[in-house]
Amino acid sequence: MRFKYPLSVDLLWLEMNNHNRTLSNKVDFSKIKTRPIAQRRNLVTLKDLISPETPSPPFESPDLREVAQRVVAARRNGRPVIWMMGAHVVKCGLSRIIIDLMKRGVVTHAASNGAVTIHDFEIALIGETSEDVATRIEDGTFGMAEETGLLMNLAVQRGVRDGLGYGESLGRMIAEDDRFKFKEYSVLCQSYNLGVPFTVHVALGTDIIHQHPRCDFAVLGEASGRDFKTYVSSVSQLEGGVFLNFGSAVIGPEVFLKALSIARNLGFKVERFTTANFDLMPITDYQRPRSKDEPEYYYRPLKNIVLRPPSMGGKGFHITGDHLVTIPNLHHLVVEKLIESSIILEPPRRTTSPQVQIEQISRRYPSVKEIVDNFTKRNPNLGSAVKDLIRAYMATNHCFETGKTLFLCGNGGSFADAFHISAELMKSFKQKRPILSYKRKWFEGLPYGEVVAKSLEEGLRAVVLGANHSLSSAVENDNPTRNMAFAQELYSLARQGDVLLGISTSGNAENVLYAAITAKALGLTVIALTGEKGGRIAEISDIAIKAPATETSHVQEMHGMIYHTLCEMLESSLCERLGQNGAETF
């Protein structure tokens, strides 16, 4: 690439970045054509699912028997059993066996790549999965099922907004959405109901939902990143436990090895534990280290599951066989041993109280817990709003963490409240927010640059709809449908991942309702701040904070206390992020 004039390093980077962006813009994902899943022929149906009660096929393996014994011993001693798997485990119809082991308290953590979740999700939705790739790749329809791509992306986006990881987000949608008629066969759903972690470790571009126009790769990365931290937490407790890998040849062994390294780096004792790799790959004398001139040296599960991790006193196994044979036999041996030993295990139970959510938030933002506790003590009459206040904070804070925008709208006093909120967010509210040191350098050499840089404060991007009176009057004058000004402005400015906070004491303001509808269509998170009844706006919103009052002035008084607390939570989180990134002490 030639440039007509000398460029600084920064300008060179910018020019090259713009050039790359121009190339990428030639591929417009918004133009991808999807098709109804009902038009797709599937290769796996409910009749292919294997019942835990079905007799196991003949398979004799002393190693498998020892692995089963080690699984039971681990659970008897309260140690974890982590089950990592690739997509063929679900495609082979083995979901019910995994669910049974979860319900029996045997499997304490399930993990997978992204493909597993797609097959599990589709089985829960339509009772079928697995398209004919060979024929559909020829005309570009492979992976283009509208419902799979749309719903899975929406599930993860909504889950991330609420502080969930990838697997928990999908499990929640399946569990709570009535469109999923076959949820009892879903490992994601049952793990969610039981409170068993199901973490998903995605590689971008590998899954069909990455082809959908509504895919947000930043959100997928955030969700999978959260799951990785949960996974590391489980691996850190693996001393005396068991790690099982079923058919994941790359993601499984690589993620496990990194998680184990992090756990040991942080000082956790993870030395004596069992690993077992299940695959069709025949390997004899698997305990023998391979040299680089042997093809088996490059088989990742052998190195990263069987040999390296348990080298400090544990033991690794490699079980060769078809999943349709090895998994039912493992299940049979484990259950048999549990019955013989009269062992009754209980899976963990899900807890979703506001206190649990706050404890999770406080791990990253410790000050937020104190703010919520103070709000609860000072305002016992607003106790019913705390849960949704926390959810609103989580959604909005994530919006700001990812560089997105909060839009606000309301009428009359609520319009004034919207401006009030934006003012608290865009400059200092209760804490000083000096701009970061690297940003101050942008002003060096500019006239009065030092004064301006020293005076500026970090802010959170908040836009109040309706402030552009020229636009509002034009819309109301030209559009035959009344009350469209908020919606029109939002449609022009908003992007997927932004948040809309609609304020209405009645919950029925038509212009706020139309804005909420537009926001939902664009992929925004919609938060409603209303009175006790909620109204039509609360019905369409993702999160509704309902002040427990009906008289307008009382509702507005409560709104002030609620949104000031929300602003304080958001500012506190911002300041903690600034401190972590080298801002001056404030």
CA separation (Å) from 397 to 217, 392, 406, 527?
18, 8, 10, 13
pLDDT of residue 9: 45
Compute the distance between CA of residue 143 and CA of residue 77 in angstroms, rounded to an integer: 44
Give the pTM: 0.75
3-state secondary structure of 428: coil
* Per-residue confidence in pLDDT tens, the chain, 586 aa: 334 434 444 554 455 555 555 555 678 888 999 999 999 999 999 999 999 999 999 999 999 999 999 999 999 999 999 999 999 999 999 999 999 999 999 999 999 999 999 999 999 999 999 998 988 898 999 999 999 999 999 999 989 888 899 999 999 999 999 999 999 999 999 999 999 999 999 999 999 999 999 999 999 999 999 999 999 999 999 999 999 999 999 999 999 999 999 999 999 999 999 999 999 999 989 989 899 999 999 999 999 999 999 999 999 999 999 999 999 999 999 999 999 988 888 776 666 667 777 777 877 788 999 999 999 999 999 999 999 999 999 999 989 988 899 999 999 999 999 999 999 999 999 999 999 999 999 999 999 999 999 999 999 999 999 999 999 999 999 999 999 999 999 999 999 889 999 999 999 999 999 999 999 999 899 999 999 999 999 999 999 999 999 999 999 999 999 999 999 999 999 999 888 654 443 3
The greatest distance separating any two alpha carbons of the chain, rounded to the nearest whole angstrom, comes to 83
pLDDT at 163: 82
Domain with CATH 3.40.910.10 in the chain: 29-40+61-340
Q: Contact at 8 Å (CB) between 46 and 181? A: no
| Non-local CB neighbours of 304 within 8 Å, separated by 6+ positions | 253, 254, 256, 257
- Give the number of other Cβ atoms within 10 Å of residue 175's Cβ: 18
CA angle 323, 273, 195 (to 5 degrees): 65
Give phi and psi for 276, each to the nearest 5. -145, 130
> What tokens appear for 46 in the block?
């409910």
- Of 336, 394, 328, residue with least CA distance to 361: 394
Return the half-sphere exposure (C-beta side, CA atoms, 13 A cut-off) of residue 224: 18
Residue 16 is predicted with a pLDDT of: 54
Q: What's the start-to-end Cα distance of the chain, in Å?
A: 45
Residue type, 107: V
Which residues neighbour 71 within 8 Å (Cβ) at sequence distance 6 or greater?
81, 106, 242, 244, 274, 330, 334
The burial of 468, by beta-carbon neighbours within 10 Å (0-12 exposed, 13-18 middle, 19 or more buried), is given as middle
| DSSP secondary structure letters along 564-585 | HHHHHHHHHHHHHHHHHTTPPP
SS3 50: coil
Check residue 463 and give its pLDDT: 98
Residue 514 burial (10 A CB sphere; 0-12, 13-18, 19+): buried
Return d(Cα 209, Cα 114) in angstroms, integer.
9
Write the secondary structure of 71-137 as one string of H (helix), E (strand) and C (coil). HHHHHHCCCCEEEEECCHHHHCCCHHHHHHHHHCCCCCEEEECHHHHHHHHHHHHHCEEEECHHHHC
Distance separating alpha carbons of residues 375 and 354, to the nearest angstrom: 13
| Per CATH, domain 354-580 is 3.40.50.10490 | yes
In 3-state terms, the chain is what percent helix, strand and coil (to 5)? Answer: 55, 10, 35
For CA atoms 162, 164, 169, 175, the dihedral sign is: negative
How many degrees, rounded to 5, is the angle at CA 484 between CA 479 and CA 489? 105
Specify the pLDDT at position 523.
86
Paired tokens of 532: 């006790």
Dist. CA 169–CA 171, nearest whole Å: 6
Neighbouring C-alpha atoms within 13 Å toward the C-beta of 278:
25
What gap in Å lies between CA 471 and CA 485, rounded to an integer? 7
**H runs (alpha helix) in 321-365:** 323-340, 354-362
∠ CA 162-167-171, rounded to 5°:
80
**CATH hierarchy code of domain 29-40+61-340:** 3.40.910.10
The rounded distance, in Å, linking the Cα atoms of 519 and 255 is: 37
Is 324:95 a contact under the CB 8 Å cutoff? no
> Between the CA of residue 265 and those of 104, 150, 208, 269, 413, what are the distances in Å?
33, 39, 35, 10, 54
Query: What is the DSSP secondary-structure string of 434-500?
Result: BPPHHHHGGGTTSTTHHHHHHH-B----EEETT--HHHHHHHHHH-SSSS-HHHHHHHHH--TT-EE
Spacing of C-alpha 536 from chain mean position: 28
DSSP reduced 3-state for 527: strand
pLDDT of residue 1: 39
pLDDT score of 365: 87
List every span in the chain annotated with CATH 3.40.50.10490: 354-580
Task: Give CA 153 to chain center in angstroms.
Answer: 10
**Residue 118, token pair as written in the block:** 């797609």
Write out the two tokens for 100: 């049974």
Q: Are 110 and 341 in contact (CB under 8 A)?
A: no
Query: Could you give the count of Cα atoms lying within 13 Å of 57 in the half-sphere of its Cβ?
Result: 8
